[in-house]
């Protein structure tokens, strides 16, 4: 509490620090902000001004200390009071790994087969950088890397830039509390960081773990802030003045009450069966996680039993890391080919000696573009590192150092498209080479047709890869409007096409003639226009005519449409051949349904709201529910976040429902959704 004798400036500074720390916890840890960013910025600026006018008010836990710090000449060694030890790794990725660990624990505890199962705590093994945070009387005073376990490096200034890490603990904190955990980088942040690097023509990063490790050891905190880092707590170092809970799980719960981020994907398991179930459940969920994990950590839950089990050399007998298949492997780059995409982009693709990585066999991997390939220095015949994490396209991240067996010349992008022989050119100031053939190019034509017919676009059922390949290769369909000239006889004459199947496709084409305006726009394959942008455009302009005649300035008025997207849309509709395609589609009786524009006065009870759908609803399909929400002015997101207004949950709702409850997001069933739609 603030002393009565404190000056008004001291009282205001203390109040601002408390408010800002509270809002930072809500934003970074709970992912449930209570105030708009502008209000946080206003409070922050007020505290900055107050501290500038009264330097004596500056404290170590002030939120302003996250953004300052001089460039260091080097990193200072830190002696760990309690060593940061490693744990045994179980490389058997089958259930045998859990069985072996449980057997060792039971043997060390001298348990008979008839004795009850051991209680374990199971949690994710994050693929990041181990970190020790030292709090004294609740204030963060030091952050140190693991180093060799005995001595690490002081990275306090850099760790202060990580928003999830509180500068002051909540509640009645111990005199000394050293928290052990992991600094990591989310996959989406990593991909965005690399995309920015590619756009600037600068070096890209190999993987999230190395990027996080490199960032945390930077000498300039300003550079660290440019690389978005996160943190999860999972253990303890030195503790003074705290009665540590009796179990590992309860200790993690207690850390969460102090305001530290603790991952929710953890369980208390009774015996080996619980460990196996959790390992398998997280393996199935691994690709959907927003960050990389390389296994599960099992720990005997009872701290008393942990002390009884003790250590073997420098590794605890009471814990083990049960690994998953590696997400990076080494293989041979056999050749470099060129793949032509829907927009004509020429992408160099590595043909690899097949290798099992990230849970699947990979034989092809992207090299992104010529400039990145040159930076990585890879050539045919090299031993290369291949990475596949989550649902990210496999990529070659670099070559294994060493001499080449023989001279191999640098790869050069072709001057002509390898599919249609049209000229290949690099856009001025751009990184990518593109085929100039447009729909004349069969590769672009095939991809354009498949995109046009996709479920999220015109939804022409039955028009798949094999059929499109025949239609293009035999010269039957030369453009999008040509699809609507197909008849049963022409289709039935194709390989593996019965008359009934041909009739189904003709029926599907007829059914597709009344798409929503958003679907129609998305189906055209305009560069930079994804599904969400197409919906925003349809909602803003209402009609196709208004959009096609819009100026760049008018396009920039659409929410989330910036200069690059606006220029791409404007350029598309300025091209006579694109306008001709649209006119021919309209002439073929394709009639996009008008969308509610800005001036529409129909009720839109969900305007400005973001909803997430999870599970199976009683009467509505996912697409039907999404269409109703969007018609009411709302947006549908694929993940629960700080911006989520409601989560609509049906049967077998999964982790999205759990996260909604954690964040305090309102959860409704289908009846609740219909009530919202009714206003």
Element (H, E) at 322: strand 319-323
For residues 409 and 366, membership in a common domain is answered with: yes
Q: What span, in angstroms and rounded, lies between the C-alpha atoms of 540 and 542?
A: 6
User: Who has greater pLDDT, 514 or 192?
Assistant: 514
433 in a domain, yes or no? no
For residues 291 and 158, membership in a common domain is answered with: yes
625 in a domain, yes or no? yes
Whether the per-residue pLDDT at 231 is higher than 70: the answer is yes
User: Who has greater pLDDT, 167 or 218?
Assistant: 167
For residues 253 and 214, membership in a common domain is answered with: yes
pTM: 0.55
Whether the per-residue pLDDT at 237 is higher than 90: the answer is yes
345 in a domain, yes or no? yes
CB 60 within 8 A of CB 53: no
For residues 474 and 407, membership in a common domain is answered with: no
Give pLDDT tens digits for 25-41. 776 566 566 666 667 77
371 closest CA partner among 413, 406, 337: 413
Whether the per-residue pLDDT at 110 is higher than 90: the answer is yes
Q: What span, in angstroms and rounded, lies between the C-alpha atoms of 385 and 357?
A: 10
| Sequential DSSP letters for 545-602 | HHHHT--HHHHTTSTT--HHHHHHHHHHHHSHHHHHHHHHHHHTT--PBP---TT--S
Work out whether the CA dihedral 477, 479, 480, 485 comes out positive or negative: negative
pLDDT of residue 360: 76
Give pLDDT tens digits for 167-210. 999 999 999 999 999 999 998 888 888 888 877 777 788 778 88
78 in a domain, yes or no? no
358 in a domain, yes or no? yes
Looking at residue 258, which CATH number applies to its domain?
3.30.470.30
| Domain ranges, residue 402 | 328-424
pLDDT of residue 586: 94
21 closest CA partner among 163, 161, 158, 148: 163
Q: What span, in angstroms and rounded, lies between the C-alpha atoms of 489 and 498?
A: 10
For residues 57 and 163, membership in a common domain is answered with: no
Work out whether the CA dihedral 594, 595, 600, 603 comes out positive or negative: positive
For residues 112 and 227, membership in a common domain is answered with: yes
pLDDT of residue 517: 94
Whether the per-residue pLDDT at 599 is higher than 60: the answer is no
Looking at residue 637, which CATH number applies to its domain?
3.40.50.10190
Q: Please say if 535 is a catalytic residue.
A: no
User: Who has greater pLDDT, 367 or 679?
Assistant: 367
For residues 405 and 551, membership in a common domain is answered with: no
For residues 119 and 256, membership in a common domain is answered with: yes
Looking at residue 507, which CATH number applies to its domain?
1.10.150.20
Looking at residue 54, which CATH number applies to its domain?
1.10.287.610
CB 275 within 8 A of CB 108: no
Looking at residue 383, which CATH number applies to its domain?
2.40.50.140
17 in a domain, yes or no? yes
Q: Which of 125, 299, 446, 635 is catalytic?
A: 125
Give pLDDT tens digits for 625-640. 988 898 888 888 877 8
For residues 120 and 198, membership in a common domain is answered with: yes
Give pLDDT tens digits for 421-439. 888 888 777 788 988 877 7
Q: What span, in angstroms and rounded, lies between the C-alpha atoms of 590 and 583?
A: 10
Of 323, 354, 388, the domain-final residue? 323
174 in a domain, yes or no? yes
For residues 571 and 624, membership in a common domain is answered with: no
Of 256, 288, 323, the domain-final residue? 323
249 in a domain, yes or no? yes
Q: Considering its fold, how many domains does the chain have in total? A: 6
pLDDT of residue 68: 47
For residues 123 and 256, membership in a common domain is answered with: yes
pLDDT of residue 603: 73
Give pLDDT tens digits for 60-93. 778 887 654 455 567 888 999 999 888 888 878 8
Give pLDDT tens digits for 645-669. 999 998 878 778 888 888 888 999 9
pLDDT of residue 4: 54
For residues 244 and 391, membership in a common domain is answered with: no
C-alpha 104: how far from its chain's center? 37
């Amino acid at each position: 509490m603030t002393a009565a004798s404190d000056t008004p400036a001291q009282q205001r500074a203390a109040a601002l620090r408390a408010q800002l720390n509270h809002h930072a916890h809500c934003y970074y840890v709970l992912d449930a902000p209570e105030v708009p960013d502008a209000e946080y910025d206003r409070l922050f600026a007020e505290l900055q001004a107050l501290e500038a006018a009264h330097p004596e008010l500056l404290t170590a836990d002030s939120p302003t200390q996250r953004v300052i710090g001089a460039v260091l000449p080097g990193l200072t060694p830190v002696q760990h009071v309690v060593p940061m030890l490693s744990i045994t790794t179980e490389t058997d990725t089958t259930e045998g790994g859990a069985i072996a660990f449980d057997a060792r624990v039971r043997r060390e505890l001298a348990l008979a087969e008839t004795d009850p199962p051991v209680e374990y705590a199971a949690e994710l093994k994050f693929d990041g950088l181990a970190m020790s945070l030292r709090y004294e009387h609740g204030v963060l005073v030091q952050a140190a890397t693991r180093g060799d376990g005995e001595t690490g490096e002081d990275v306090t200034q850099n760790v202060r830039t990580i928003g999830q890490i509180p500068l002051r603990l909540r509640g009645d904190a111990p005199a000394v509390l050293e928290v052990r955990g992991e600094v990591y980088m989310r996959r989406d942040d990593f991909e965005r960081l690399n995309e920015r690097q590619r756009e600037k023509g600068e070096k890209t990063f190999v993987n999230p773990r190395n990027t996080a490790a490199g960032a945390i050891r930077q000498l300039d905190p300003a550079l660290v802030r440019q690389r978005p880092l996160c943190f999860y707590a999972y253990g303890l170092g030195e503790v003074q003045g705290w009665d540590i809970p009796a179990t590992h799980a309860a200790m993690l719960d207690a850390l969460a009450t102090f305001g530290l981020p603790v991952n929710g994907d953890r369980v208390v398991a009774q015996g080996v069966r619980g460990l196996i179930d959790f390992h398998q459940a997280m393996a199935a969920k691994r690709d959907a996680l927003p960050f990389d994990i390389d296994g599960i950590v099992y720990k005997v839950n009872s701290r008393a039993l942990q002390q009884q089990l003790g250590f073997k050399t420098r590794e605890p007998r009471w814990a083990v890391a049960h690994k998953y298949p590696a997400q990076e492997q080494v293989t041979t780059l056999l050749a470099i080919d060129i793949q032509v995409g829907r927009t004509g982009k020429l992408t160099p693709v590595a043909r690899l000696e097949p290798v099992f990585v990230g849970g699947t066999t990979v034989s092809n991997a992207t090299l992104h573009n010529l400039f990145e390939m040159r930076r990585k220095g890879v050539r045919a015949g090299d031993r290369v590192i291949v990475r596949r994490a989550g649902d990210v396209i496999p990529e070659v991240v670099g070559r294994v150092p060493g001499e080449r067996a023989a001279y191999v010349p640098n790869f050069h992008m072709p001057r002509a498209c390898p599919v249609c022989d049209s000229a290949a050119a690099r856009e001025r100031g751009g990184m990518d080479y593109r085929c100039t053939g447009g729909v004349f190019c069969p590769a672009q034509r095939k991809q354009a047709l498949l995109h046009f017919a996709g479920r999220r676009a015109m939804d022409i059922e039955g028009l798949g890869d094999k059929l499109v390949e025949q239609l293009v290769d035999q010269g039957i369909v030369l453009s999008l409007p040509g699809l609507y000239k197909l008849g049963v006889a022409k289709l039935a004459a194709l390989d593996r096409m019965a008359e009934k199947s041909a009739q189904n496709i003709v029926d599907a084409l007829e059914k597709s003639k009344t798409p929503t305006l958003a679907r129609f726009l998305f189906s055209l394959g305009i560069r930079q226009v994804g599904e969400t942008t197409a919906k925003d455009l349809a909602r803003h302009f209402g009609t196709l005519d208004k959009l096609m005649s819009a100026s760049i300035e008018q396009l920039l008025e659409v929410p989330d449409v910036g200069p690059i997207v606006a220029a791409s849309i404007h350029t598309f509709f300025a091209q006579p051949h694109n306008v001709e395609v649209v006119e021919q589609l309209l002439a073929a009786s394709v009639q996009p349904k008008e969308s509610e524009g800005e001036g529409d006065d129909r009720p839109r009870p969900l305007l400005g709201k973001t909803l997430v759908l999870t599970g199976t609803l009683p009467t509505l399909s996912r697409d039907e529910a999404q269409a109703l929400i969007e018609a009411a002015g709302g947006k549908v997101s694929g993940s629960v976040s700080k911006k989520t207004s409601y989560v609509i949950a049906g049967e077998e709702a999964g982790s999205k429902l759990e996260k909604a409850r954690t964040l305090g997001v309102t959860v409704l069933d289908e009846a609740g959704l219909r009530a919202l739609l009714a206003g």
